[in-house]
Amino acid sequence: MKLTKTLMATTALTVTAVAAHAEDMADSMTLVSWGGAYQDSQQNAYAEPYKEMNDGLEVVWDESSNEAVAKLRAMDEAGNVTWDVVDVVAADAMRLCDEGLAMEIDPDEVLAPAPDGTSAEDDFGDLLVSDCFIPQIVYSTTFGYRTDMVPEGVDAPDEICDVWDTETYPGKRSLEKRPINNMEWALLCDGVAKDEVYDVLATEEGQQQALDKLDEIKDDVIWWSAGADTPQLLADGEVFMGSTYNGRLFSVIEEQDQPVAMMWDAQVFDLDGWIIPANLPEERLARALDFIYFATDTQRLADQAKYISYGPARASSAPLVGQHADLGIDMAPHMPTDPENAKNTFLYNYEFWADYRDDIDAKFQAWLAQ
Amino acid sequence: MRGPLIPQKEITNGDKMSDTTDTGRVLAADGTPLKRSLNRALRRQKLRALGLIAPLLIFVLVTFIAPIADMLFRSVENQIVSNTLPGTVQQLEAWDGISDEAPDEAVYEALYYDMFLAAEAKEHTRLGTRLNYEETGVSSLFRSSGRSVDDIGEDYIDALEDLNEAWEDESFWYTLMSGGEDAAKNSGLLEEERDRLASLTSDDFGGDIGFVPGQEMSDLLPNTARAYTSFALFTVIADEDVVAEEEPWEAVKIALVQDLKRGVDLAGYSGFGADELRAAQDMLAEQPDIAFKEAFLEMDEDWGDTDNWRTIQVYSPPFTTGYFLNAIDMQKGTDGPEARPDNQQIYIMLFKRTLFMSLMITGSCILLAYPVAYLLSNLPMRSANLLMILVLLPFWTSLLVRTSAWKVMLQQQGVINDTLVWLGLVDDASRLIMINNQFGTIVAMTHILLPFMILPMYSVMSTIPPSYVRAARSLGATNWTSFWRVYFPQSVPGIGAGSILVFILAIGYYITPEIVGGTTGTFISNRIAYHISSSLNWGLAAALGSILLAAVLILYWAYDKIVGIDNVKLG
């Protein structure tokens, strides 16, 4: 039943589910993720070890995370949710939670405490941005640029406003085809103080100001909608610099050895994590909770950083981050959360964008289409 | 197209048969008039035919038409507001939406009960999301209010419970509200609340819950009885607990406070809990009224914003034109539809662009496909087959691969630009921009849709007897005249069929414009996809889709009027 969703979740069921452990758990489980290198890191860091611990467990992967919200809603309306654990970004988790499509969880009941006994709630801290969301990693949207296209005698770009400086750094830029992040960067470069950005962006004038600033480089921008676009555009030399997820840039730079470098200034932190769909049958819910408990413990989250340059969401995992599994390089300097990289950062403002997303997106798209 | 042609053939057959019977009163072997007998036979035949296609028909209806109809229905559906906030909507009718005054206390009191129940059922955030499409900020207003709505009137509840611990006692409440086993019951109220919860949550709230409100209590304390009944239903059916073992919600106690403060005459009541009720009423008489409006404003000052209230009021009817207005760059104002601000107008422009570009694509497909189809139908079998495979090959390749291939070809550092630079035709610094714009979309989509134009053209052209052209030539026509006056008119049905296919496919295309369209080459379907998968505004997506569907049907109708659908042949 649709109704029982969150109520059962927070109280009775979770308790019994954790207590019941090992018994009465479904012997197959469908995990939904993003595919690619990210899904591989999850598979290596926790799905495989979990499978080894549970004989006869069948794990099915579905690469549908980018349409998870719409698909879950459709499944819910059809009364047949086939997913057990779904990987989504925090903003989507909030949407799913608001729509009653994701189960509310109590972190202290469902998640493992840190090895030193710190409760899960304190260990994840501020990253628990929604009642339904179980954070896994911190990633950032930031810029990469072609090192061989920096004009001679000019320093490499090292601040966000260099994106607007087409005189010093000629060449195209690639930006994501949505207002989020772009509007903030535009305001920052238009002289708005960092802690006032969202106050300004909440006003009509502020939104216009951001669009006017973006207008300055509109002709020099290629707009991307898939995370793989910017890495491809950089590798082909189509653009001089572009925004994308830092893990994608890591693989362009370190794994594919392209002449590309990171520009961490004003990187925007965002979160990715799990949700459990609302109203799962008891056995599947028990399996999902058991998996989540294992997959989000301190060691597992630290293990994931061996395969991809995203920061673990637990404070207690950070010291355990080691070297890349294949390349053997230290991963800590490649994490968005590394102090050297995180000198000037932004945290995705979930509350703000949940309210303003529809409105600003309408204006942004109208501006784009002009 | 073949579809519409088949029934037409049947009709002409029927006509022919009736023609013959019209001439005289011919009787069949059994004495009935031949006309009727034949009609009966024909009807039987048709029924048999219908029986044969019935499984497919039912399948198509169930799996194709019904979901589309359901989706289109969403473009006007808007029950969520009146289902979630029924009391508020009712109270809000009295509020005149033009003034700058927020609604009065009664609306906020109704909002309290509605919001409390919605928050228990976790439905308030859904409504918040829905209304946020119309008024920015409602989403977080509802989310945060749902969290703290149970704090309203805390002091009164504390005072009540300090006065007598019975007000914290589950079984006391249960006996009080049910009026004991033998009391007269008010099952009407129970059914009312059952319906209300069912429409709020779209779950079934049927079944025995082990509680029916007592008639005497529902007359004496109507609000309390109502609140307790919804609490009881929710406790049993959603939470799967026992009513008599659960302490009532804060909203039930607040309802009691309100009932008692309104000066209920308890003098005539001597049933269970009479003393406690009287003591509570005496105690409450000395306290000020609960200020719901103040409490809501304290929770979030946006509750005093008249724009939010106006949005709730404007969108309270169960059906709305709002989505359709939005889809044509308009919005619902307080006095009827009005245009959206200039900086938010996008859909009309996108519809126009989609039509224009689909026509461009259809046109370039005709130009490219005609010679190919001509060649195909006039070559000897062997080479024609080879050519046919070449036409079909891209057909069998993934759409994404073909689109990405165009990216490699057209981009500034791509194959074409590199070649042009190498040939010296284009300067290295001013490479051509051929992708992420309309040009890129038209090129890629023309390539992708080309087989849909070639195949119908080919199948029509291969039925044109070569002797006609030869006859024209032998009668002295030039090459051009024999082609233009004899061959071309006969190939028009193929062009028609191909054009309809390509145009209708193009108008709803999504993936190619998304990848190579940039900002100027995207279609309306890209916005529909955005609203389906990202913003979850399915109502707007459905409205946009309905308009697109209507546009296609109108164009089809116009085509039928101008060219005639009989003139379309797929083979």
**pLDDT, tens digit, 9 for 90 and up, residues A302-336:** 999 999 999 999 999 988 988 998 888 999 889 99
Q: What Cα–Cα distance (Å) separates residue B155 from each residue in A363, B105, B284, B290, B291?
A: 45, 19, 11, 10, 12
| Nearest-by-Cβ selection for A7 from B139, B238, B520 | B238
Does residue B143 belong to the interface with chain A, where contact is any CB pair within 8 Å?
yes
Provide the pLDDT for residue A257: 93
Looking at CA atoms only, how far is residue A366 from chain B in angstroms? Answer: 5
Stretch B73-101: mean pLDDT, rounded?
A: 91
Q: Which residue of B has its CA nearest to A211?
A: B343
Residues of A in contact with B308 (CB under 8 A): none
A70·B533 Cβ contact <8 A = yes
**How close B129 comes to chain A (CA, Å)?**
7
Q: Are residues A109 and A60 in the same domain?
A: yes
- The whole-angstrom separation of Cα A2 and Cα B252 is 24
pTM: 0.87
Residues of B with Cβ-Cβ distance to A2 under 8 angstroms: 201-203
B265-288: per-residue pLDDT in tens?
888 888 888 899 999 999 998 889
Q: Is A337 a domain residue?
A: no
DSSP secondary-structure letter at A45? I
CA angle, residues A169, A171, A177, in degrees to nearest 5: 110
Single-letter code of the amino acid located at B443: V
Of B126, B132, B345, the CB nearest to A355: B132
Cβ–Cβ contact B329 with A under 8 A: no
A247 and A119 co-located in one domain: no
pLDDT digits (tens, 9 = 90+) for A208-246: 999 999 999 999 999 998 888 999 999 999 999 999 999
Q: Is A268 helix (H, G, I), strand (E, B) or coil?
A: strand
* Dist CA A314 CA A124 (whole Å): 5
Query: Are residues A258 and A307 located together in one domain of the fold?
Result: no
Q: Going by DSSP bridges, is the β-strand pair A85-89/A260-275 parallel, antiparallel, or unpaired?
A: antiparallel
Average pLDDT over residues A130-145: 94
**Does A354 lie in the same domain as A231?**
yes
Same domain flag for A49 and A124: yes
Yes or no, beta carbons of A73 and B536 under 8 Å apart: yes
3-state SS of A225-245 is: CCCCHHHHHHHHCCCCEEEEE
Share of chain A above pLDDT 90, in %: 77
Contacts of B198 (CB under 8 A, 6+ apart): B204, B205
* Statement to judge: residues A150 and A127 lie in one domain: no
**A211 and A355 inside one domain:** yes
Alpha-carbon distances of A98 from A294, A356, B246, B313, rounded to whole Å: 26, 15, 27, 22
* B241 Cβ under 8 Å from any chain A Cβ: no
Confidence of residue B145 (pLDDT cuts 50, 70, 90): very high
Query: Which chain A residues touch B351 with a CB distance below 8 Å?
Result: none
In this model, does residue B125 exceed pLDDT 70? Answer: yes
**At a CB cut-off of 8 Å and minimum separation 6, what does B534 contact?**
A69, A70
Q: Where in chain B is the domain with CATH 1.10.3720.10?
A: 347-567
Residue of A nearest to B431 (CA): A238
Q: What is the CATH number of the domain that holds A109?
A: 3.40.190.10
Q: Helix, strand or coil for residue B568?
A: coil
Provide the token pair at B540. Answer: 């707007």
Residue-level pLDDT at A3:
44
Beta bridge partners of A222: A174
Within-domain flag for A137:
no
A112 in any annotated domain: yes
Nearest CA in chain B to A367: B343
The total of other beta-carbon atoms located within 10 Å of residue B161's CB is 14
Please report the pLDDT score of residue A283 as a whole number.
94
Closest CB from B129, B201, B533 relative to A67:
B533
Looking at residue A23, its pLDDT comes to: 59
- A72 and A215 in a single domain? The answer is no
What pLDDT is stored for residue A96 in this prediction?
A: 92
**Would you state the pLDDT for residue A369?**
85
Of A100, A357, A363, the CB nearest to B122: A100
pLDDT at position A10 = 45
Record the tokens describing residue A361, joined without a space: 């997106």
Which residues, other chains included, contact A118 with Cβ-Cβ below 8 Å and sequence gap of 6+? A315, A316
Instruction: Find the domain containing A292 and state its range.
Output: 4-132+276-332
CB A87, CB A288: distance < 8 Å: no
pLDDT score at B12: 45
CA distance A176 to chain B (A): 11
Tell me if chain B has a CB within 8 Å of the CB of A171. no
- pLDDT score, position A14: 44
Candidates B122, B138, B518; nearest CB to A5? B122
Q: Which residue has the tokens 């010093």?
A: A168
- pLDDT for B259 beyond 50: yes
DSSP A161: G
* Chain B interface includes A369 (CB < 8 A): yes
Rounded Cα–Cα distance for residues A48 and A59 (Å): 9
Using the Cβ of B534 and the Cβ atoms of chain A, whether some distance falls under 8 Å is answered with yes
| Average of per-residue pLDDT across B87-115 | 90
Mutate which: B135, B139, B233, B523, vs A, most A CBs within 10 A: B139
Which of residues 86 through 105 in chain A touch B, CB cutoff 8 A? 95, 97-100, 104
> Which residues have C-beta within 8 Å of that of residue B126, sequence separation ≥ 6?
A98, A99, A100, B80, B84
Please determine, for residue A363, whether its predicted confidence score (pLDDT) is greater than 70. yes
Domain membership of residue A339 (yes or no) is no
The residue-averaged pLDDT of B553-571 equals 79
Window A:37-56, CB contacts with B under 8 Å: none
Nearest to A362 among B344, B436, B520 (CB): B344
Interchain contact A329–B (C-beta under 8 A) = no
Q: Is residue A16 part of a domain?
A: yes
Residue A95 has its nearest CB partner, among B137, B140, B536, at B536
Mean pLDDT of the B475-488 span:
94
Chain B residues with CB-CB distance to A238 below 8 A: 411-413
- In sequence order, what are the beta bridge partners of A173? A221, A241
A288: its two tokens: 């999902």
Inter-chain touch A363–B536, beta carbons under 8 Å = no
Q: For the residues B128-136, what does the mean pLDDT come to?
A: 92
How far apart are the C-alpha atoms of B314 and B134, rounded to whole Å? 10
Percent of chain B with pLDDT over 70: 95
Nearest CA in chain A to B349: A369
Cβ pair A90, A134 in contact under 8 A: no
Handedness of CA B399, B402, B408, B411 (dihedral sign): negative
Tell me how close the Cα of B511 comes to any Cα of chain A, in angstroms. 12
* C-alpha torsion sign, points A248, A254, A258, A260: positive
Q: How far apart are CA B236 and CA B230, in angstroms?
A: 10
Please say if the pLDDT value at position A12 is more than 60.
no
Give residue B571's pLDDT. Answer: 56
What pLDDT does residue A7 have? 43
For chain A, the domain total comes to: 2
Confidence band of B336 (pLDDT split at 50, 70, 90)? confident
User: What's the pLDDT at B23?
Assistant: 52
* Mean pLDDT value of segment A105-116: 94
Pairing mode, strands A260-275 and A345-347: parallel
Task: Report ipTM for this prediction.
Answer: 0.87
Measuring CA to CA, which residue among A69, A65, A129, A133 is closest to residue A99? A69
- The answer to whether A84 and A280 are in contact (CB under 8 A) is yes
Architecture of domain B347-567: Orthogonal Bundle (1.10)
Please indicate, yes or no, if residue A238 is contained in any of the structural domains: yes
Co-location of A355 and A253 in the same domain: yes
Count interface pairs A-B at CB distance under 8 A.
104
- CB within 8 A of A77, min separation 6: which ones? none
* A301 DSSP assignment: H
Of the partner residues B121, B133, B346, the one whose CB lies closest to the CB of residue A3: B121
Mutate to test the interface with B, among A355, A357, A370 (most CBs of B within 10 A): A355
Q: Please report the pLDDT score of residue B5 as a whole number.
A: 42
The one-letter amino acid code at A89 reads V
A242 Cβ contact list (under 8 Å, min separation 6): A143, A144, A145, A173, A174, A175, A222, A224, A230, A233, A234
Q: Please indicate whether residue A105 or residue B32 has the higher confidence score (pLDDT).
A: A105
Q: Using a CB-CB distance cutoff of 8 angstroms, which residues of chain A are in contact with residue B534?
A: 69-70
In terms of domains, do A94 and A206 share one? no
What is d(CA A95, CA B532) in angstroms, rounded to the nearest whole number? 13
Nearest CB among A211, A238, A358 relative to B535 is that of A358
pLDDT in tens, A45-60: 999 999 999 989 999 9
SS3 content of chain B, % helix, strand, coil (to 5): 70, 0, 25
Work out the minimum CA distance from B204 to partner chain A, whole angstroms. 9
Report the residue of chain A nearest B520, measured CA to CA: A369
Contact B87, B110 (CB under 8 A): yes
Which residues have CB under 8 Å from A12's CB, separation 6+?
none
A148 at the B interface (CB within 8 A)?
no
Query: Considering the domain boundaries, does residue A338 fall inside one?
Result: no
**pLDDT tier at B570, thresholds 50, 70, 90:** low
Instruction: Choose among A131, A108, A116, A114: nearest CA to A5.
Output: A131
Q: Are residues A294 and A365 in the same domain?
A: no
Q: Nearest Cβ partner of B413 from A6, A70, A236? A: A236
Token pair, residue B466, equals 């070569």
Work out the average pLDDT over B117-133: 93
- The residue of B331, B344, B528 whose CB has the most chain A CBs within 10 angstroms, and thus the best one to mutate to test that interface, is B344
Judged by CB atoms closer than 8 Å, whether chains meet at A67 and B520 is answered as: no
> Does the distance separating the beta carbons of A4 and B125 come in below 8 Å?
no
CB A306 within 8 A of CB A325: yes
Residue B289: closest CA among B177, B113, B166, B152: B152
Report pLDDT for B15.
46
Task: Report the alpha-carbon distance of residue A133 to residue A271 in Å, rounded.
Answer: 10
Residue A237 sits in the same domain as residue A306: no
Structure token digits, residue B400: 């994404």
The average pLDDT across B387-401 equals: 88
Q: Say if A138 falls within a structural domain.
A: no
pLDDT tens digits, B8-44: 444 444 444 444 444 567 787 777 888 888 898 899 9
A78 touches chain B (CB under 8 A): no
Picking from A8, A98, A357, the nearest residue to B125 by CB comes out as A98
Averaged pLDDT for residues B496-517: 91
Nearest to B122 among A6, A223, A355 (CB): A6
Residue of A nearest to B124 (CA): A98
